[in-house]
Every structure is written in C-alpha cells, then in structure tokens.
Structure 1
Amino acid sequence: MNVLGKRSYKEDDSFEKKGYKKSKKELININSRINLTSVINLKESYNENTVTLSSLLSQKKSTNIIQFNFLLDLDWFMSQVPLHSRNDAKILFIHGMRDMTIPESSKLYPNTRFLTPYIPLPYGSHHTKAMILFYDDDTMQVIIHTANLISNDWEYKTQAVWTSPFLKKKTEDYIKSGKECEFEKKLCEYIKFYNIPVLNKLAERVSMFNFEDCNAILIASVPGIHKGAEMDKWGHLLLKQVLSKKFKIDKSENKEKKESYIISQMSSIGSLGKDDRWLDKEFCQSLRYMISDVDNTTKLKLVYPTVDNVRNSSEGWDGGNCLPFSNSNWEKQSSYMGKILHKWKADNSGRSRSMPHIKTYTRIDDDEVSWFLLTSSNLSKAAWGTLQKQGKQLMIRNYELGVLILPEIFDKGESQQVKLVNYYGKDKNKASPGVKNIEIPIPFDFPLSPYHDKNETINTDSNTSTPWTWDIPRNEMDLFGNKYSP
C-alpha cells in the first residue's frame, strides 16, 4: 500500500507532485498528508487512502529509525519493519514506559536502543507519537501520529497519521540565503529539549534538511515550569500565538453568519477542576484567537465515547482500555461538561465501532473547517499546560506533539481561494471552481450527536448519555457476552 493511497502523487508529474488533482468541476484537491490508519475487518472502501505501520516503514530502505512514543511492544513492532531495515537500520526508541525492563527479545535485535526521558514533574508522561526516518538515498521523513507501538492501536482503533514529504538536504544556495523554516526550527527545538546527547546529535542532523515543503505547523508540549518568553513556545499558549499570527476568517458583512465552534475530540479527559475556569477561560480561550482579534463567542464542543459506544464496539468492553477517563473526574466535572459532550459517531468513515485513540481539535465557522490540529494531546492540563501565579508561568507535565493545518499555509500567493474540506464530508465536492480544497480526514460525523437534547435533563444513569469511564465495573454484556471489570 502506498502511504498516501489513491491520493499519492507521481514523481514525474510536476502538477501531481505537489499533491494536486483536478475534478470534473475543475476543483483543485490538495492532500493535507493526513490519513487515517487501516482498521481490520472493515469494508475495503472504508480503508481506502489509509495507512498501516508496515506501509509507513516500507516506503524506502531505512538507515536510521527514531521512534518517539509512549507504549511499545518490541516484538510486534519489529514484525512490522521490513527485513532489510529490521536487520540493518539503527533503531532508537524514546518511550514513556518508566518501569520497562529491556525485553529479552531485544537480544535478537542488536541494532536497537532504548531511552526513557526524564520527566521533572509528577504524573507527567512521554506521550508523543512520532517517527523520524532516514533513508539510504540521503532523504529523510517526519511522521507524526496518534498510535502507541502496539498491535491493538494499529488494528482496531481509529487513529491518524501525518507524513512529511521525502525531504532532501539543503543546497548551498539555500544555506547562503539564510532562510528559516518554522517547522524545522520548532522540531529541532523540541528534540534538543530532551537534553540527551544522542538526541542533540539527531537535531543537528535534522537541521541539515530542507523542510520548506512541510505544509503544517508543529504544536508541541514539553514538561516543566515555563516562564517569560518560554511560555509562548509550548502547549496551549503556543497554539494561541500561532493562531493570533496566522489565522483569519472572512468577516464580510454580506456573508451569511452561522455558528462558530471548536471541537475537542480525545481519548481521555484529565482532572480539569470543579468549574470550567481552565477549560473555557484558559484553554478554549487560547483556541479562540485569530489575527488581531479573539472571538469570545466561539463555543466548545467535546466528542468522547459513551458507555454504549464502548460496549457495542468491535472489541467490546476491551475497546475502553484506550480511554482512561476516571469516574471521579467525571463526577467532579459533569456539571459543566455534560451539556457540551457529543457521542462518538463515525458512520461516514466506517469507524463508529472502532474506538478513537485519535486526538483532534477543529474550528468550524459557517459549517466549514477553519483549522485542524492532529496531536497526541488529550484534553488535560498535563498535556496542554495550566497557568500559575497570576498567569506568570505555564506548567506542563507531558511531552506531546501535533501538527496544525491552516488554509493560509497553502496560500502561495495565487488567485485561488483555499479551503479545508472534510474528506468524509458530504459537501466536499460542492465548492466553487478554482478553489483549492485541502482534504482533511475528519473521522466523526457532522452534525455532531449530543449526549442530551437541549431541553433534556441530564441522566447520568443512561449508558447512551454517560461518558465512558474505565475504573468502575459494568454489568451489561458486550457483544462477546462479557461484563466489564476494571
């Protein structure tokens, strides 16, 4: 399988090489380079334009494979690596399994090395999901995704992957020009933050390559107490800074105004507090920013599976193992979260029964996608950071990494309008001729399906309108005839 499926470009066609393709209406569709992962036992049509771990690792012969992740099953991972790379490539794992002992099977792979980064704050984790691949033709590639390096994540869950183009080394002319690429700068800054010698060398090697063709913006989190100028470099304050400098919306008076909202879709919800001060006044406020403005009227909507979503999933109750939302946090937060929660419904992508380990943040204006963030960051203070000391410092507990897709990134000064369109949306081919459509595979359905109708009293005893929490027993039977015991 080609990594980009049927949307892949041809190396010998300059028009297709940029990811463009024309429809009969002369629309221009541009591949955002984001793809869902394949899910086993789905109809073939639902796995079109998807990727697998083995397809990602089999594009070319690798000389170095660097894996940033949280969980790792070494034997399974190595089974996904093609033989030529499995035996010859140097493979480095930076993982979050603090108590992990080096697997006995690692003796079979003398080309592997394992690092557990230092986390300075309690309850923090190395949660980033990314790969850096160096190839034998002197190119490299960056891949940012949402899956752990375990079989269930790649076979049964809803996940997504962003892949960079194959990057070439900088030419002498490019170096002399003094150009700076924001993607490269942030990636190297992130890698250097680990303060590990082998990763410092990795950052030096990465800086030798040209990232100009990466049409995405890195949004990263690193653990620590960040003060002064460092505050805006990470977490939700970094996202705020990017949006305030690069994002704009059409405020034409003659344009029909519809609802504006931000969707947070995640696989876990942290301890956010008894009221919505952090969720609405801090976190969501950062996401409301745009160039020279902030839209305080933009509402937040949450997409997270219900108890019945999990029970009826293709894995039964086991599908909830990737959704570690605690019942105590739900009880504390239900008063303000209950009205903005929406079910996991993904019929258009065929993934309603494939539980989401994917994390996405999406702004919708006038029924159109304004920006889209694919990330490892769940909805938590640990991932995004929380302001302290009257806003003078930002505390982040986790390592996280994601990519932000904005229409402005694809605007190369040409005459065409640029829009983000949902690859699984029903209206993606109804745009005006000459519009550049950036295809984003948003897996869940629109309109969203709220847990409760507007006038409905919240019923916390209903499995159809209660969020999944993984630490209390369930007496109902799943499709395998099993009850749930945490």
Structure 2
Amino acid sequence: MSQDSQHGKWSVSSSEDDDDELPPSGTTSKPPQATHSKNTSSSASNTESIAASAGVKPEPEPSLAVGSEARRQAARNQSNPVKFESPAAGKRKVEASDGAGWALSDSDDEDDDAEKKKMSNAPVRKPASPKRKKANVEKERPPSPHGRLYYIDEPDDFFESGVPRLDDTFRFYLNKVTGLDRKYNSGALHIRDILSPLFGTLKGSVQFNYCFDIAWMVEQYPADFRDRPVLIVHGDKREAKARLVQQAQPFPHVRFCQAKLDIAFGTHHTKMMLLWYEEGFRVVILTSNLIRADWYQKTQGMWMSPLFPRLPQGSSDTSGESPTFFKRDLLEYLASYRAPELEEWIQRIREHDLSHTRVYLVGSIPGRYVGPDMERWGHLRLRKLLYEHARPVPGEDRWAVVGQFSSIGSMGADKSKWLAGEFQRTLTTLGKSSLRPDPPVHLLYPSVEDVRTSLEGYPAGGSLPYSIQTAQKQLWLHSYFHRWQADATGRTHAMPHIKTYMRVSPDFTELAWFLITSANLSKAAWGALEKNNTQVMVRSYELGVLYVPSAFDMKMFTVQKNPFPFSSSSSGFPVPFDLPPTCYSPKDQPWIWNIPYSQAPDTHGNVWVPS
C-alpha cells in the first residue's frame, strides 16, 4: 500500500516489531534468498563450501536481505545506493525531503480522519530519483570518518576468543562490531565465539529467532559441529515458511518447529539458543537475529548461562532449581509452545542442574489471560517480579526509568492510553511499596543524525522500523526521546538493536534493576490490559532476563563507568550506553524509516530514498 504526502511516496511498514499495523505473520513477504555481506562473492563461495561438505548442491546466492520491509529496503540501498549529489549553489532541492517537518499534525489528540484530510490536502512532492551508482569499488567510496579500516571486513583475528572470566558476575555481554577499535571489542562475543569448541563439545542446538539466513547460520558453527542437529523455532507461515524451508534444503541436519501465532499481528520475536554439549547444557538469550547484518555493525546484547552440568541419574524433578526459579520458568516457557519438536529439549533441561542461575526469566507468549495467569507473561510478569524481589529506595520518585529499543509500536492518542498508565506502573514498581511515583522517563531511540553518521550509514535505519504512519499518531511520545550515545563503550556509531530497560538513581550511579530482552516498545510485545483490566492480551513471543540486586546478594548495582574490557565483574554493571541520557535538541528528529533523507550524505556518501 502506497500513499503520497509532502514527504513524497512512502509505503506502509511491515516491520519486524511495529504494533497494530502489521499483517498477520506469514503475510509479510520475505524474499526466498538472502545475503548480508558486502562481499557477496565471498559469501557465495562460503555457502558453496558448506553445502559441498554436506554433499548437497547449494541454492543460488541470495541478493536481498531476509526480514521486514525495512530491512529489505536497507539491503537494496546498500547493494544499489543512491549517491548524494550537492545541489547547485544558491539553490535548494525540493524534490526529496530531508525529513524536516515530518510531523504533519500539531495536535497530539487529532483524530485519524482529520489527519487523513490534512494529508490529502498536502502538496504532493515526488521524491527525487538520483542516478543510481554502484559503490562496490574502493576508489568510489568517500573517505570514512571512522578510519580507513572501516571498509575492511573482519580481520583474521576478529573471531579469536577466550572463555569469559570465571569470576564473571552478571554474564552480560555485547557483540563484536566490525570497524571499531580493537579495545572496544575486548570482552565482546561474536556468534562464532558462542558456538566455539572453547565453550563445549556441541551435540545439538535449538535456535529460536525471528529472522534467519540458514546458509550463513550454518557457516557460523565450527567445522567439527557443522553437521550436528539444529532445530529452528520460527513463526513464519505459508509462503514465508516455504521460503525458509527452501533455504535449508542443502542442510539435511536442519529441522523446523513452527511457533503458533493465533492472534493477528503477532510475531515470533524470541531470540534464544539452547546448546547441548557432551559436557552439559547452556542457554543463551540475546537480541540478534540470525543474519550477518545483526552481527556486523550493530550493538547487540546477550546473557550467556554458565555450563549447566548433568544431574546424577535418579534425581527428582525439582532438582537443579535456582533461587530465581529459572529452571521452572524456562520449562514453562518451552511447554507453552505446545510443540512436539521441543519435548526432547524439555526433558534434557530437566536432566541438568541450573541451580547457579541468578537471573529471572521474563517472557511473552501470545494469548489472552485472566485471573492468576495474567501475571505469567509480558509486562505484568515483570511487575510481579519487581514487586516480589526489588527493594524500595528513598526518594524513588526521582529514580528514572530508562528504556532503550529499536522499534516502536502504536500506543494510542495520548500517553495515558498505555505508556504512562499500565506500562509505567510496571516499570516503577519497587518492592511492596505503595507509592505510585511519576519519575523521569528517558526513552533512548536513535535520531536521524545518529543513523546518518553511523558505521552503516542510512541502511542502519532498516533495523529501526518506526513508520511515519505510527509516528504521526503519537507525537506526544517524542518528548520522551533521548539520543543513542555510547562513547564510554565506543559504540556511539554502531546503531542499537539491543533492547534494555532499567531503573536508575538520580545521579545515574546505581541501578535498582536491569532487563535485557527481545521486547521493543510495543503493546504487541509487552501485552495490554483489556475488559476493565480483568484480562491481558499478548500478541508476540518475546524473551529476556531480569537482573535484581537481591539475587546477587547486593543492595544495588553500581554502574560501571569504563566497561572495557567488557566483562560484568562485581565492580559494577556494564550499562551499554552513556548515562545520564542526552535529550533530543530542538533540531533532532527520531529516525523514521519510510520517508526520504537526501539533504546530507551518510558515511558512505549515500542518501535514503525509500521506494
């Protein structure tokens, strides 16, 4: 569906996480083939070598990214970029908007009909169609502000890894990012590190995710483990499912489990690995899709469990439980899929000792829940945990809520509809305190300038699918926005796909709790109350882990100021962005993925003109 506005032609988003505007899972088209490398010839040879080792002829080399329309647009722009062309002196191009003034309505509460009328009366401006040029040759690339090494793929030692420190307290890690100074990758992990023999002799694995490039995923496994069974848990239906299965044809060791999505507009957004070794069992809960782009130049996060040993034979069903009841909750989460393919993995978890786990599991499972079941999933699950395990603090009305995410759903005509109502009540819960404070709320989301100057340039915005249609309906939200800044971690220019929420002290030195999750800022992910607050409806699968100081025998977490080498030692919690957050200036605009930006080039000398 396309419409014309003063911004030119734009298309309705079918993004990974956008709420209430998505078609049901399976109707969002994903191309049958995928690549996420700038060097497609190298990727092709790698795919062929993997398939050859499996004795199967590989499918043709993909040409477009899998995933949402935003991601596919980003892939198209990277493979066939629109070069920036300076306007003639004294003249301003008016054919394509730079995004300024995208907020068409001045009224926060204006109804949809009025907005549509305004849009229909707005002057129609067609986007410019600059001549497309290939930018694959080194000499055609503009100088990079990030240094000459920016355009070089991962160095030979990029994937070298050591086992994380044994005294690691929080087991929270960032991903490695190509193009950053080596010190800013110290202590970070790539997917190849996670799957490395250094962590165990792999016997089989399960990959829960939203977006897959099967050939690339298989390549990340060490050669010795590349034929070990892999179960893919996904939410694709119909044509999208058929394309996913087609991707796996060269790899007979890859099987599938389709997650049930019975509520419209929901997605299977959970990102988790179950890794079964000869030596034990491990769980990894993360924010990255299984595509190269998510492990290349984006900031991602993960929790990696200890290696869980096998319980002695004959142990009871309640053996190996942790003080946080992580084992019970993980088994309940997996059972909620109602999938025969997961039964053997449920049994394997029962047979292992998870007692050293110190985090709480916070998941979302699609459904409508009433009574006690309302607190099983979504933000009401988080509220219950904070009520039972977080500690009240003096002056808690001054302890800020900080949320950071990569996509935003539709939340209503004003803040009271969901964000400042039920969701804020959850995020401000601290123990059994009866206070219902109205603390500062800082929402970190990249501005247009953040995206433009990032390592990837404008295509980084393909992973930030906030659409113009949604943004126009909730202008009130943008007063909450703060810049993505991560100078302390060296990652200001690696756009975030990580999602975190936390409660922080007025001086930004202590945390009352910290959550890393797949859940973006949307009702689909977190759930929304219905029927006079007697029912909660959740659309999507999500998963994260909650850190509460009491589980670590601490009163509060201290914010670690200089987190590199990045290891979550007992000296402090490594928050992956700068504190305090920096509010948008009057000139800053939130990144909107489906309008053009052509008045200034990105770090590759290109502009953004959605088709």
Kept after mapping to 1: 8 A contact 2:299/2:498: yes
Give the corresponding residue for 2:372: 229
Give the corresponding residue for 2:427: 287
Please tell me the residue identity of whatever aligns with 1:356: P
Give secondary structure in 2 for the equivalent of 1:239.
helix
Give the corresponding residue for 2:341: 198
Kept after mapping to 2: 8 A contact 1:327/1:472: yes
- Structure 1 residue 185, shift from structure 2 partner: 0.8
- Structure 1 residue 226, shift from structure 2 partner: 1.1
Spell out, residue by residue over 1:22-57, the C-alpha distance to the aligned partner (whole angstroms, 9 max, x if none).
xxxxxxxx5200010000011011001100000101
Q: Aligned in 2, Cα 1:120/1:2: closer, same or farther, shift over 3 Å?
A: same
Kept after mapping to 1: 8 A contact 2:447/2:483: yes
- What is the aligned counterpart of 2:406 among 267, 282, 286? 267
Distance 2:319 2:299 in 1: 41
- Structure 1 residue 318, shift from structure 2 partner: 0.3
1:451 partnered with 2:590: no
Give the corresponding residue for 2:64: none
Give the corresponding residue for 1:212: 355
Distance 2:207 2:319 in 1: 30
- What is the aligned counterpart of 1:420 among 557, 577, 583? 557
Spell out, residue by residue over 1:355-374, the C-alpha distance to the aligned partner (whole angstroms, 9 max, x if none).
10000001102421111100
Please tell me the residue identity of whatever aligns with 1:483: V
Please tell me the residue identity of whatever aligns with 1:280: A
Give the corresponding residue for 1:24: none
Give secondary structure in 1 for the equivalent of 2:598.
coil
Distance 2:209 2:305 in 1: 18
Kept after mapping to 2: 8 A contact 1:3/1:50: no
- What is the aligned counterpart of 1:171 among 289, 312, 332? 312
Give secondary structure in 1 for the equivalent of 2:489.
coil
- What is the aligned counterpart of 1:303 among 441, 444, 466? 444
Distance 1:369 1:7 in 2: 23
Give the corresponding residue for 1:441: 574
Distance 2:321 2:358 in 1: 14
The structure with the largest alpha-carbon Rg is 2
Distance 1:151 1:317 in 2: 17
Give secondary structure in 2 for the equivalent of 1:229.
helix
Segments of 5+ residues of structure 2 without an aligned counterpart are 1-157
Kept after mapping to 1: 8 A contact 2:397/2:439: no
- Structure 1 residue 105, shift from structure 2 partner: 5.3
Q: Aligned in 2, Cα 1:258/1:39: closer, same or farther, shift over 3 Å?
A: same
1:183 partnered with 2:336: no
Give the corresponding residue for 1:314: 455
- What is the aligned counterpart of 1:45 among 159, 183, 204? 183
Please tell me the residue identity of whatever aligns with 1:271: S
Spell out, residue by residue over 1:379-431, the C-alpha distance to the aligned partner (whole angstroms, 9 max, x if none).
000000000000011001000000001111111xxxxx5542334458x9xxx
Kept after mapping to 1: 8 A contact 2:455/2:494: yes
Distance 2:380 2:257 in 1: 28
Distance 1:149 1:449 in 2: 31
- What is the aligned counterpart of 2:522 among 354, 373, 380? 380
Distance 2:216 2:573 in 1: 29
Distance 1:169 1:451 in 2: 51
Give the corresponding residue for 2:267: 125
- Structure 1 residue 351, shift from structure 2 partner: 0.8
Kept after mapping to 1: 8 A contact 2:487/2:577: yes
Please tell me the residue identity of whatever aligns with 1:199: L
Give the corresponding residue for 1:93: 232
Distance 1:194 1:173 in 2: 27
Kept after mapping to 2: 8 A contact 1:126/1:398: yes
Please tell me the residue identity of whatever aligns with 2:500: T
Give secondary structure in 2 for the equivalent of 1:107.
coil
Distance 1:257 1:102 in 2: 48
Kindly tell me the number of residue pairs found equivalent between the two proteins.
438
Give secondary structure in 2 for the equivalent of 1:94.
strand
- What is the aligned counterpart of 1:108 among 233, 245, 250? 250
Please tell me the residue identity of whatever aligns with 1:472: I
Distance 2:544 2:376 in 1: 14
Spell out, residue by residue over 1:155-210, the C-alpha distance to the aligned partner (whole angstroms, 9 max, x if none).
11000110000001223696387675410111111101111111133212212211
Distance 1:176 1:447 in 2: 46
Please tell me the residue identity of whatever aligns with 1:267: S
Distance 2:318 2:344 in 1: 24
Kept after mapping to 1: 8 A contact 2:397/2:438: no
Kept after mapping to 1: 8 A contact 2:320/2:354: no
CA RMSD, Structure 1 to Structure 2 (Å): 2.4
- Structure 1 residue 3, shift from structure 2 partner: 10
Kept after mapping to 2: 8 A contact 1:5/1:50: no
Q: Aligned in 2, Cα 1:272/1:176: closer, same or farther, shift over 3 Å?
A: closer
Q: Aligned in 2, Cα 1:258/1:104: closer, same or farther, shift over 3 Å?
A: closer
Kept after mapping to 1: 8 A contact 2:396/2:437: no
Kept after mapping to 1: 8 A contact 2:320/2:355: no
Give the corresponding residue for 1:25: none
Give secondary structure in 1 for the equivalent of 2:224.
helix
TM-score (norm. length: structure 1): 0.85
| Higher alpha-carbon deviation: 40-49 or 417-426 | 417-426
Give secondary structure in 2 for the equivalent of 1:76.
helix
Distance 2:516 2:311 in 1: 27
Give the corresponding residue for 1:395: 537
Distance 1:245 1:97 in 2: 36
Distance 1:190 1:407 in 2: 24
- Structure 1 residue 439, shift from structure 2 partner: 3.8
Q: Aligned in 2, Cα 1:109/1:298: closer, same or farther, shift over 3 Å?
A: same
Give secondary structure in 2 for the equivalent of 1:108.
coil
Kept after mapping to 2: 8 A contact 1:418/1:437: no
Give the corresponding residue for 2:14: none
Percent identity between matched residues is 35
Segments of 5+ residues of structure 1 without an aligned counterpart are 10-18, 20-29, 412-416, 429-435, 453-458
TM-score (norm. length: structure 2): 0.68
Kept after mapping to 2: 8 A contact 1:71/1:96: no
Please tell me the residue identity of whatever aligns with 2:503: R
- What is the aligned counterpart of 2:598 among 470, 475, 481? 475
- What is the aligned counterpart of 2:214 among 49, 63, 74? 74
Q: Aligned in 2, Cα 1:438/1:375: closer, same or farther, shift over 3 Å?
A: farther
Query: Larger relative contact order (C-alpha < 8 A, sep ≥ 6)?
Result: 2
Higher strand share: 1
- What is the aligned counterpart of 1:332 among 461, 473, 480? 473
Kept after mapping to 2: 8 A contact 1:134/1:140: yes
Q: Aligned in 2, Cα 1:178/1:45: closer, same or farther, shift over 3 Å?
A: closer
Give the corresponding residue for 2:15: none
Give secondary structure in 1 for the equivalent of 2:355.
coil
| Higher alpha-carbon deviation: 58-67 or 289-298 | 289-298
Distance 2:163 2:221 in 1: 23
- Structure 1 residue 475, shift from structure 2 partner: 1.6
1:31 partnered with 2:164: no
